[in-house]
Amino acid sequence: MTQDAYIAIGSNLGDRAAYLRQAVRSLDAAGGNNVTACSPVYETEALVLDDAPQPPYLNAVVRLSTMLSPTSLLMLCHEIELAAGRIRDGRRWAPRTLDLDILLLGSLSVSTPVLTIPHRELVNRRFVLKPLSDIAPDLLLPDPINKAVADALADCADSHDLRPYDNIFAANPSEPAPAPFPRNEATPFDTFDFNARHDIL
């Protein structure tokens, strides 16, 4: 059984548009996955902890039809980030070639030490809620949020500016579609029965 996942994608290093396009191709190319919608793209100033300036982000949200379990989807996101040269040095809010966050997975609520769905910061970030609202305004956000995406956006206190960016996901006949990042096919990916109860995700 497939479910719709909503994934936030962002980049503020290197060829940001190319990383986002390749991330979408890579999410789509993984077994059983199908990207069914891409939001408009926005440029936003980076959140910084220590006043050290950072390049601005490109942000978007994609809808992904998937059979992957929550943990497998997280592993896939990490694998794609790594393939994009993402360096995890433990610094919070460090600049990054590619960041993939699982916002939602069906109507599932998950809370484990490594994974929280709905994403913990979802309702606090306009750069996530706005593109999500562009493609799914009426979607009901599950526990513990329990409101529609458009209502969450209206209630969001974050006032950071979002600058509409080019439609980088539109097919360009003069350019070949980007290849997905190479996959580590050895990674075991579980599918997930969303109708069953799961103690181990």
What is the contact surface with ligand AMP in residues (CB under 6 A)? 74, 99, 101-102, 114-117, 119
By beta-carbon proximity to ligand AMP, the closer residue of 47 and 154 is 47
Which amino acid belongs to residue 113? P
Active site residue 96: yes
Judged on CB neighbours under 10 Å (0-12, 13-18, 19+), 132 is: buried
Which helix (H) or strand (E) is 59 found in, with range?
A: strand 57-66
Which amino acid belongs to residue 56? P
| Cβ 99 to ligand AMP shortest distance, Å | 5
Which amino acid belongs to residue 107? S
| Cβ 70 to ligand AMP shortest distance, Å | 8
Judged on CB neighbours under 10 Å (0-12, 13-18, 19+), 80 is: buried
| Cβ 108 to ligand AMP shortest distance, Å | 11
Catalytic residue among 16, 21, 96, 126: 96
CA distance 137 to 170: 21
Active site residue 101: yes
By beta-carbon proximity to ligand AMP, the closer residue of 109 and 116 is 116
Catalytic residue among 16, 63, 101, 126: 101
Question: Residue 178, Cβ neighbours under 10 Å: how many?
Answer: 15
Where helices occur in 30-125 by DSSP H, the ranges are 70-83
By beta-carbon proximity to ligand AMP, the closer residue of 2 and 116 is 116
Active site residue 28: no
By beta-carbon proximity to ligand AMP, the closer residue of 97 and 175 is 97
> Which residues are the active-site residues?
86, 96, 99, 101
